[in-house]
């Protein structure tokens, strides 16, 4: 199994030139990798998350590479901080063209059981972080996009939204509802030039995944994947960059599975992420 490709591209492409994009969950993982790609495509970024030191380091590294990025702390559980985030993006850059709605509280997964056994507090906290927070981000971003003449929102979904699992009921419910939110935004504001789509990752070999590789059933997941390899952060970054760009202006209200064909497998339907 190969090590991940570099996620530090030079600032050379211009597909997203002049577009102002907010990236939630940018402090680490897929959010950080995607932020680097968007910057490499020429976007002006407002990075957001709750891990201040990592977020500021990412913004600094993008700037050092010739890109444009600022960091703003934002908490999905705090509506005021999300409202301030969108305000700050517009104050910094003068407009808002895109949002990568990528954030979830993965620490809750271990306690996310079935509908009978799950603790109600865990269910409520999962819905609050993985659905309500992203709903609020859309709520505050859409008026800014309308004032800017339109925009594109990309949300982080999951195979759990459409493949039944014996556990993780709260996570599955949150992601299924997030897909419904995606379709709602597309239907409500599509005529106003706002698009909303989602990406559903498969098994992505992030830094965290590599650190815990010995505890993950990677061989079995690879066996059930139609592609000859597992996913890498750049796979998600490429899909998000495309959906945020003007190359995808006739794509709206859709979910794109970026999973190497894992969810078309006739084997065990349990998703990898």
**Which tokens sit at 37?**
């790609």
In this structure, is residue 37 part of a structural domain? yes
171 catalytically annotated: yes
Residue 10 DSSP SS3: coil
Domain count, the chain: 1
User: pLDDT band at 208, cuts 50/70/90?
Assistant: low
Is the pLDDT score of 43 beyond 80? yes
| Confidence bin at 211 (pLDDT 50/70/90) | low
Q: Where are the beta strands (DSSP E) in the chain?
A: 20-23, 44-49, 68-73, 98-101, 151-156, 194-201, 255-258
Expressed in angstroms, the distance from the first to the final Cα of the chain is 18
Within a domain: residue 44? Answer: yes
What is this structure's pTM?
0.89
Bridge partners (DSSP) listed for residue 204: 231
Q: Is residue 201 part of a domain?
A: yes
Out of 140, 171, 209, 244, pick the active-site residue: 171
Average pLDDT over residues 251-257: 96
Residue 270 CA from chain centroid, whole number: 21
In-domain check, residue 7: no
Q: Which of 89-93, 118-122, 151-155, 198-202 has the lowest mean pLDDT?
A: 198-202
Confidence label for 209 from pLDDT (cuts 50, 70 and 90): low
Kindly tell me if the per-residue pLDDT of 12 is higher than 70.
no
Residue 238 burial by Cβ neighbours in a 10 Å radius (0-12, 13-18, 19+)? middle
User: How does pLDDT run across 27-37, given as a tens digit for each residue?
Assistant: 888 899 999 99
> CATH code at 58?
3.40.50.720
In the predicted model, is pLDDT for residue 4 greater than 50? Answer: no
Question: What does the pLDDT read at residue 272?
Answer: 46
> Is there a domain that residue 65 lies in?
yes
pLDDT confidence of 194, banded at 50, 70, 90?
very high
Cβ–Cβ < 8 Å for 190, 252: yes
Measured over the CA atoms of residue 201, residue 148, residue 246 and residue 238, the dihedral's sign is: negative
Q: What are the tokens at 217?
A: 């059933």
pLDDT at 107 over 50: yes
Structural domain including 200 reads 20-257
Q: Domain for residue 2, yes or no?
A: no
- Report if residue 13 sits inside a domain: no
Residue 9 lies in a domain: no
Neighbours of 128 (CB within 10 A): 16
Comparison of pLDDT for 229 and 7, the residue scoring more: 229
């Amino acid at each position: 199994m190969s090590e991940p490709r570099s996620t530090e591209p030079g600032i050379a492409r211009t597909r997203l030139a002049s577009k102002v994009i907010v990236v939630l969950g940018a402090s680490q993982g897929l959010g950080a990798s995607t932020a680097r790609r968007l910057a490499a495509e020429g976007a002006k970024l407002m990075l957001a998350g709750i891990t201040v030191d990592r977020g500021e380091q990412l913004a600094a590294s993008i700037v050092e590479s010739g890109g444009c990025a600022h960091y703003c702390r934002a908490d999905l559980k705090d509506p005021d901080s999300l409202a301030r985030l969108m305000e700050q993006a517009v104050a910094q850059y003068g407009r808002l063209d895109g949002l990568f709605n990528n954030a979830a509280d993965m620490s809750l997964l271990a306690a996310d059981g079935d509908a009978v056994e799950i603790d109600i507090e865990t269910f409520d906290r999962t819905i609050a972080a993985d659905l309500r927070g992203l709903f609020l981000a859309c709520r505050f971003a859409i008026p800014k996009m309308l004032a800017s003449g339109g925009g594109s929102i990309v949300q982080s979904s999951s195979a759990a939204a459409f493949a039944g699992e014996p556990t993780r009921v709260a996570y599955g419910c949150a992601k299924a509802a997030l897909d419904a939110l995606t379709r709602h935004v597309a239907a409500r504001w599509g005529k106003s030039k706002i698009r909303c789509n989602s990406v559903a990752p498969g098994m992505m070999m992030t830094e965290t995944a590599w650190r815990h590789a010995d505890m993950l059933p990677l061989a079995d997941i690879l066996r059930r994947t139609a592609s000859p390899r597992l996913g890498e952060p750049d796979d998600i970054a490429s899909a998000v960059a495309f959906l945020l760009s003007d190359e995808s202006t006739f794509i709206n209200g859709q979910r794109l599975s970026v999973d190497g064909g894992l969810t078309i497998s006739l084997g065990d339907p349990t998703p990898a992420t």
